[in-house]
Structure 1
Amino acid sequence: MTKRKPGSTQRYRHVWTPEEDAVLTSRYPDERAQAIADDLKLHVTQIYKRAKKLGLSKSEAFYVGNDSGRTGDGRGAGTRFQSGHVPWSKGTKGLTGTHPNCRKAQYKKGRPAADARNYVPIGTEKVKDGYLCRTVTDDPSIVPAQRWTGVHRIVWEQANGPIPDGYVVCFREGRFSTDVEKITIDALELVHRAEMARRNHPRSKDPELAKLVQLKGAITRQVNRIAREAKEKQS
């Protein structure tokens, strides 16, 4: 017996009858599941699922017989590795993988696999967030994202030493570049973070935008005042 909703494209759901359960119980321990499925006109997976639900299992006699498919008769022994087999490559080293392109993808000595995947040589450059950056260390104890430093910082520190706390190195007006040859000491300047905040404020960039910011602030203050007065009257 099978059930399926009208218009469904799924396989029919078979409803087992007591007679079919009796057939499965009597035949499953000693016969192949495919033979039972063919006689009951079901899929073999339905036989396995029902047998598991009923707690049925194969008998020892079935496993000994040829129908089980087990290779206890020595089939395939001629193609197996025998005990004491010596591989053809024993004692050899470096026969393959010596091409430079292969070397690039190989794990570096002393590095775990996960770290080797992110490894790049010191001096590698890339553009990140609009700035040219360079790797300054390959210390595995430092996460890969922290091994990069802006080239403009490197150039400044080479000429003037470490950057003081509270200061940043930035490009002078009109001198910004991602070309390493144009990132020179005369194109850079040391600026306090407070000064950088003032430079990046909208009022410093566009007078019209500054007016809009001021207008928005005035409107916000009026709205807050009206709401506050209304709340005071209610209380």
Structure 2
Amino acid sequence: MRRPWTQCEIDTLTKLYPDKAAKAISLVLDRSVRSIYSMGKQHSLKKSDTFFASPASGRLDGVRGESGRFKPGLTPWNKGQAHPSRGRSAETQFKKGEMSGAAQHNYVPIGSTRITRDGSLERKVTDDPDLYPAKRWVPVARLVWEATHGPIPDKQVVRFLPGMQTTVEDEITLDKLECISLAENMRRNTLHRYPKEIALAIQMRGALNRKINNVEKQKHQ
């Protein structure tokens, strides 16, 4: 049960707090160290400079603990030495490129294809562990374009011509693609330039296309 502070205890705390450690005061007042700090804060009590300079504060003064410190220029005894695993710990360590759990269950080989949420067909081109998983996949449309024209210039993007988008790999051909600037791509994709009714219809069409793509994907699994 919480015990209220008496005025006598508060007066004693006020007298001892500046120059005594909270642990020592707690023994005098039969209070917890936490309650000493809490009540000291409530009454805006502060430790004195004399206390901070004393060993009771626990602060380093440049002398205490000197024997256990590293000196400037001192070379650690184990510098440059390998630290091999001990005991059986090596058996449970992950090896580079090793997979387990969900990563192993979801793994697909290079060359696999998938349909993204926005209805684009992508192909896996690398297993590089240094790349974020999403970066290991590239749109098939981009691969088709680069096979003929080379790398896509900065700030440009490959997209389907109007009405030509498809997720059937054999139907993604160069004559259905174009390379445009990111600014132009953004202008075409924004819905703000359309009346509200048309913008809503476009959004509903996109949602329907995603559902159709998901059904097609499940059929091929």
TM class, shorter-length:
0.3 to 0.5
TM-score, normalised relative to structure 2: 0.43
Greater Rg, structure 1 or structure 2? Answer: 1
Q: Which has the higher contact order (CA 8 A, sep 6+)?
A: 2
TM-score, normalised relative to structure 1: 0.40
